Structure 1
């Protein structure tokens, strides 16, 4: 396995392990055993487990962002329909899972934001990017005359990210996506309300 391939393999393996078990519950030994590599190989590519965690979190966001962009950037659909489709995909994703590990972004925020500046900075950049993606589509919906909002799109988008993470946490506790369904209902009946046709 090439060096770059080994690093990628470690991150891919770590993504699965850290998402299902959590950062603190997954030691370096667990990671290298799952990846099938010697411990020295791990430290050839990562200075610490903290750095590894930040890289795994970055990979998780890359995958999440790609799916989000695919839905929100689909210009064959009106912007409000794209926002609804994004929420629907999140509900379906959790309906299809037998295990509910939660969102790695929220999990890492709870586990590491206090102790790790590196992970905290990575989380901050993820939340900012996520907010920007949602805000752009909300702005499109306003410009298209589909919705009216009393606050700037960035403020509404940041609230949606916050509310989403809270709903995922509740879904993790309840072991079902009811909290996400409830969030979707509230959002599209009280915040992003479609204007009646003139």
Structure 2
């Protein structure tokens, strides 16, 4: 692929991500995405044969990419994953503001909107959740092997709870439109992780 091709595709993905994040997939307008990018319908359909394909690419490339950068890779690459997990929670506790909470978690939003109505979306979203849980489970298992968390910890169950609670914090904070609620919820989650030692 050439650079112009990559740039156009990236522009479309980023604009689609922003539109979907603010309005949901079903209400997202292709005309708004094109307006925001100054691109033509031909450019859009050259890269994505349908709105559905564009939505799946946003999940696979943008949302998963953001999570990989912010959460997955830091945990996978950490020599000492237990403090790395605590550090990730601390970063979110101290780095969240009301504007970030306003639109909610892009992953959570799409899970709520699309899981019951589109099997492809459900499968792609589930793949991210499965990866996230797997990354956390592997980090906890490594921490367990290092003697950093309890030997009797069920790492699979704990990782499921951590991912579900994290996303639950997003949901209630979005509903309340409050970063303070998000921070309070994540502080409790951090205390849970501290209790695993």
CA contact 1:142–1:149 (8 Å) conserved in 2? yes
1:74 lines up with 2:63 in the alignment: no
The answer for the alignment partner of 2:87 in structure 1 is: 85
The answer for the alignment partner of 2:43 in structure 1 is: 41
The answer for the alignment partner of 1:15 in structure 2 is: 17
1:30 lines up with 2:32 in the alignment: yes
How far apart, in 2, do the equivalents of 1:124 and 1:99 lie? Answer: 22
CA contact 2:96–2:179 (8 Å) conserved in 1? yes
TM-score normalized by structure 1? 0.86
* Offset of residue 95 of structure 1: 2.5
CA contact 2:137–2:155 (8 Å) conserved in 1? yes
CA contact 1:9–1:35 (8 Å) conserved in 2? yes
* Greater CA drift, 115-124 or 93-102: 93-102
Q: 1:150 to 1:194 in 2, by over 3 A?
A: closer
How far apart, in 1, do the equivalents of 2:144 and 2:182 lie? Answer: 24
Task: Kindly provide the CA deviation profile for residues 149-179 of structure 1, in whole angstroms up to 9, marking residues without a partner as x.
Answer: 6553122111111111111011112222344
* Offset of residue 28 of structure 1: 1.1
Q: Which runs of 5+ in 1 are unaligned?
A: none
Map 1:53-68 → 2, pairs under 5 A? 53-58=55-60, 59-68=62-71
CA contact 1:94–1:176 (8 Å) conserved in 2? no
> What is the SS of the residue equivalent to 1:26?
coil
Map 1:107-126 → 2, pairs under 5 A? 107-126=109-128
> What is the SS of the residue equivalent to 1:158?
helix
Map 1:39-188 → 2, pairs under 5 A? 39-58=41-60, 59-72=62-75, 73-75=77-79, 78-95=80-97, 97=99, 100-148=102-150, 150-188=152-190
How far apart, in 1, do the equivalents of 2:27 and 2:104 lie? Answer: 15
* Offset of residue 190 of structure 1: 4.2
Task: Kindly provide the CA deviation profile for residues 34-88 of structure 1, in whole angstroms up to 9, marking residues without a partner as x.
Answer: 111112221221121111111112211112112213432232xx33211111112
Q: Which runs of 4+ in 1 moved over 4 A?
A: none
Tell me which protein shows more helix as a share of its residues. Answer: 2
Q: Provide the aligned C-alpha RMSD in A.
A: 2.2
* Greater CA drift, 91-100 or 53-62: 91-100
For these two proteins, the number of residue pairs brought into alignment is 193
CA contact 1:50–1:118 (8 Å) conserved in 2? no
